[in-house]
Structure 1
């Protein structure tokens, strides 16, 4: 399943991609996700054209219906590759238990009238027989709610 969201920002594409690669923005987005306990940010590598980021997060698990399971803690890693010249962020999320839920996506920053447009795409794969499609749809609905919030976080950091 794929979820997409486009947002407009009154800033240059280069400034937007710079913020997308920043510690402050990434920690802000993670801290606002439901169920997050703690997040650590690391720059794995940086060149003038390319940045590799890693977020390690402790978060409460989810129930099969999408609720928060406060009795279970998962440790997840999100790795992001930021192409500063191409203005594309590619990311992959996974949990230490090798979860059957795989999330990945891109953020593409494009020139737009008055500034920039960011197009976010999230791919959701759930490899659970019989109910995987239903779980993917549930996750997709949650992502549809959260993507506009990440756009608001970006605007906060562009000010």
Structure 2
């Protein structure tokens, strides 16, 4: 059984500007760094007038049920595929836990008066008998904690013009 978490952020930016920010290397580096990453690299895969695909490679200190373990690191790759005309994306996360843990989601940027609304959906599915549901709740809880930092980075990027 998977768990889903949805967020909405209102921005003082047009959808085109919000898309420009959210597909920039600077945004991904700032967002992941403020959330504890020790290394972030954006790797372009494909771009044309309609579509943009790229990966965000992140290294952070290992996390366990007792918190952060600075003696070990974990690497992950998040792959984004944007429909540029629709201002929507799908993304998938691949981390240290392999196929036992699926984390993916969507992003939609829609007009809102003179600004834009960013709607994010996160889905977590942990395929471990007995503890999967508890692990899903823990992952969603961590995502919720990181949401304020995500919003702050978005707003700072908008303010930079």
Same fold (TM over 0.5): yes
Q: Deviation at 1:70?
A: 2.1
Task: Please list every run of 5 or more consecutive structure 1 residues that lacks an aligned counterpart in the other structure.
Answer: none
Q: CA separation in 2, counterparts of 1:138 and 1:11?
A: 33
Q: In structure 1, how many angstroms separate the alpha carbons of the residues matched to 2:97 and 2:123?
A: 20
Cα RMSD after superposing both structures: 1.5
Q: Does 1:55 align with 2:56?
A: yes
Shift of 1:101: 2.1
Aligned to 1:104: 104
* Distance in 1 between residues matched to 2:51 and 2:111, nearest whole Å: 19
Tell me the distance in 1 between the aligned counterparts of 2:130 and 2:120: 28
TM-score (norm 2): 0.90
2:120 aligned with 1:120, yes or no? yes
Post-superposition offset of 1:69: 2.1
CA distance in 2, matches of 1:150, 1:78: 16
1:1-150 counterparts in 2 under 5 A? Answer: 1-34=3-36, 36-65=37-66, 67-95=67-95, 98=98, 100-150=100-150
Taking the aligned partners of 1:94 and 1:58, their CA distance within structure 2 comes to: 12
Q: How many residues align?
A: 157
